[in-house]
Amino acid sequence: MILNKNLRTQMSEITSTLMSSGAAAATVAIQKALKEMPARMGKPFGVHEGMPDFVTDLLASLGVMSPKGISTLDQPLSEHEQKLSPVPEKEGIEKSEGQFLTKSFTNHAGTRDYKVYIPSSYHGEAVPVIVMLHGCTQNPDDFARGTCMNAVAEEKKCFVVYPAQSQSANSSKCWNWFKAIDQQRDQGEPSIIAGITQQVISDYKLDRRRVYVAGLSSGGAMAIIMGATYPDLYAAVGVHSGLPYGSAQDLPSAFAAMRGAKPGINGKLRTSDADTRLSSIPLIVFHGDSDTTVHSSNADQLIKQSVSPKEVAADRIALHAIVQEGKVPNGHAYTRTLYQDENSRTVAENWVIHGAGHAWAGGSRRGSYTDAKGPDASKEMVRFFYTQSNTYRFIAKIKLNI
């Protein structure tokens, strides 16, 4: 059957809901769509007809729920809503010593607002800048509050930029990481985020060699897209609970990727130097191994994109892995894997946080989707970023040796 426009829109929104709140919330959205669908189609479902086969097949094949579990869509909404974890109450934004300004950027792809944090110690010198991409349902204030990145910026003397996804672009305010046009240089959302970055650098004369991008969930998926499409702009990437570059191109592949299906780079996006660009990105990854929204295998795929062997030249640099086990006092245990070159310089890190779900590690309860049990992802990302600059582009030709 051919989906009408309204249903296609709702299915897109369901993808966003799954990304932001998990399968239970997506079930609620699916039920709402199906209850409204008969009226839109001009006839009710028959007594034995149930939901359309394409919905059943889609949900079952993508693993959102088993065929048996699909019958639970007939339960009252309240039964599903009771299963959802409440979002922490929003509190007032803490006063900081620096400035937190609201700005806007427009180009051919659209307009986005953004916020920029200026540390109190800034007096016009060329300092680093970190671009922070929020997750679904979030906004710059919420994300800044939850990650405490402004406090880190105050300590480390750097700017922080928070682009804001508009609700008109995505009803759940997710970055559209699964749309082909939003995975390409000079197109869609990547062009807007890069434009915001370049505008802030130009306005404040910041250090172009030390520009970094990080994000959570859909923001993490967009962060790696930014690193892959603008390697000349960003010196390193941080991905928290995100997905690999090119892991989805539409609704079904987005569901599948989030459930842990092995990705392949979209053929439409792949160019002759795609592998080189991916492997030249210094990368730090955080992911909870109990994440039920974005499967933790996506972290492994991100690391593979960054450190896999590339047959791009005769001379290749061997990386070796160092595995460290640790535990935050009264918090989560974690496994940290460092990938180092022959000069013992770390070019990639993978943090697996044991028992953690879909939340920013070490974040404040003052923001949404945070886990105060650590480790402190914000501080660790900035530590890693400060070891990287665009002066160093030497891991494009590598051979993994572990």
Note whether 66 and 174 are same-domain residues. Answer: no
- 149 and 24 in a common domain: no
Name the residue range of residue 11's domain: 5-81
Is residue 173 domain-resident?
yes
In a domain, 86, yes or no: no
Q: What is the pLDDT of residue 169?
A: 97
Exposure pattern of 316-349 as b/e (b: 16+ CB <10 Å)?
Answer: beebeeeeeeeebeebbebebbbbbbeeeebbbb
Last residue of a domain, one of 54, 81, 108: 81
Long-range contacts (CB closer than 8 Å, 24 or more residues apart) made by 201-204: 201/129, 204/118, 204/122, 204/124, 204/159
In a domain, 357, yes or no: yes
Domain boundary among 28, 50, 81: 81
Residue 298 lies in a domain: yes
- Which one of 26, 50, 81 terminates a domain? 81
Q: Are both 69 and 115 inside the same structural domain?
A: no
The answer to whether position 92 is within a domain reads no
* Residues 209 and 239 grouped into a single domain: yes
Does 168 map to a domain?
A: yes
Residues 342 and 274 reside in one and the same domain: yes
10 Å CB burial of residue 215 (0-12, 13-18, 19+) is: buried
**What SS3 class is residue 103?**
strand
**Same domain for 187 and 313:** yes
- Whether residues 56 and 180 share a domain: the answer is no
Strand 236-240: give its sheet, edge to edge: 99-107, 110-118, 159-163, 129-133, 211-216, 236-240, 283-288, 346-353, 333-340, 317-327, 398-400
Both 72 and 103 in a single domain?
A: no
Q: Where residue 168 sits, what CATH number does that domain have?
A: 3.40.50.1820
Residue 39: predicted pLDDT: 47
Residues 31 and 129 in one domain: no
Can you give the pLDDT of all 402 residues of the chain as single tens digits? Answer: 344 555 556 666 666 666 655 655 665 666 565 555 444 444 443 333 334 434 444 444 444 444 344 333 333 333 332 333 333 433 434 555 899 999 999 999 999 999 999 999 999 999 999 999 999 999 999 999 999 999 999 999 999 999 999 999 999 999 999 999 999 999 999 999 999 999 999 999 999 999 999 999 999 999 999 999 999 999 999 999 999 999 999 988 998 999 998 765 554 454 445 556 677 789 999 999 999 999 999 999 999 998 875 433 334 467 899 999 999 999 999 999 999 988 899 999 999 999 999 999 999 999 999 999 999 999 999 999 999 998 644 444 333 333
Is the pTM higher than 0.85? no
Q: What is the number of domains present in the chain?
A: 2
- Give the pLDDT of residue 336: 99
188, 194, 200, 205 alpha-carbon torsion, rounded to 10°: -150
Antiparallel, parallel or unpaired: β 346-353 and 283-288: parallel
Domain membership flag for residue 329: yes
Q: Would you state the pLDDT for residue 123?
A: 96
Residues 134 and 171 in one domain: yes
Question: Length of the chain, please?
Answer: 402
Please, which residues have CB within 8 angstroms of residue 229's CB and are 6 or more apart in sequence?
A: 183, 184, 185, 190, 194, 277
- 263 with 374, same domain? yes
Same domain, 140 and 38: no
Q: Do the domain assignments include residue 89?
A: no
